[in-house]
Amino acid sequence: MAKVQSIQELEIEESKQYSENKDKKKIGMRIVFSEEKIIGAKDALEIIFPNRKTQTAARIFIEWLKSKDGQASKSAVSIFADEIQSGNLYDNGIPFKYSKRNFYMTVLRTLISMGFIRRNVPVWDNRSKRTLYVYMKNIFDIPQKPPSVGFWRLSYYIAKKWNKIFLE
């Protein structure tokens, strides 16, 4: 026969499970913003994304975006995400697969939230005679000389490496 528990016993059991889950730390993406790492990185994507597979997915996306002159419609980005999920895109001649959900949640969301990609930018389309809302690269207007210290100095180097990706 099944054991019948009182409401108090269930509440105690629930609180134990809650406290056990509460003690476990969720490990998310950690970005290390040290001056040595930022200056030593070959591009901005290496700084922004610590995971190699995510870096590769971001590089493939950026190359694709560069081929589209730095802007793409939402449907085009969706088709890109389908292509990367099915493994139809290549990294150095090797088929590369990356989850569509991870692409949107990790790569695209991070690039948008950090200001590297702008979302819903209105662009006039002469072919269809209407305004389209697209994802667009963001090129930063930065000074010739870096600031002396702090966050602004690190941001300067990251923005400079980002601009270099699109200005090559």
Q: What is the pLDDT of residue 39?
A: 86
Q: Does 108 fall in a domain? A: yes
Residue 73 lies in a domain: yes
Look at residue 39 and tell me if it is in a domain: yes
**Domain count of the chain?**
1
Q: pLDDT for 76-117, tens place per residue?
A: 999 999 999 998 988 888 899 999 999 999 999 999 999 999
Residue 141 lies in a domain: yes
Confidence at residue 28, expressed as pLDDT on a 0 to 100 scale: 54
| Burial class for 167, CB neighbours closer than 10 Å (0-12, 13-18, 19+) | exposed
Domain limits for position 76: 33-167
The answer as to whether 16 is a domain residue is no
DSSP assignments along 89-141, one per residue:
EEETTEEE---HHHIIIIIIHHHHHTTSEEEEEEEEETTTTEEEEEEEE----
Q: What's the pLDDT at 5?
A: 52
pLDDT in tens, 122-164: 999 899 899 999 999 999 998 888 888 888 888 999 999 999 9
The model's pTM: 0.76
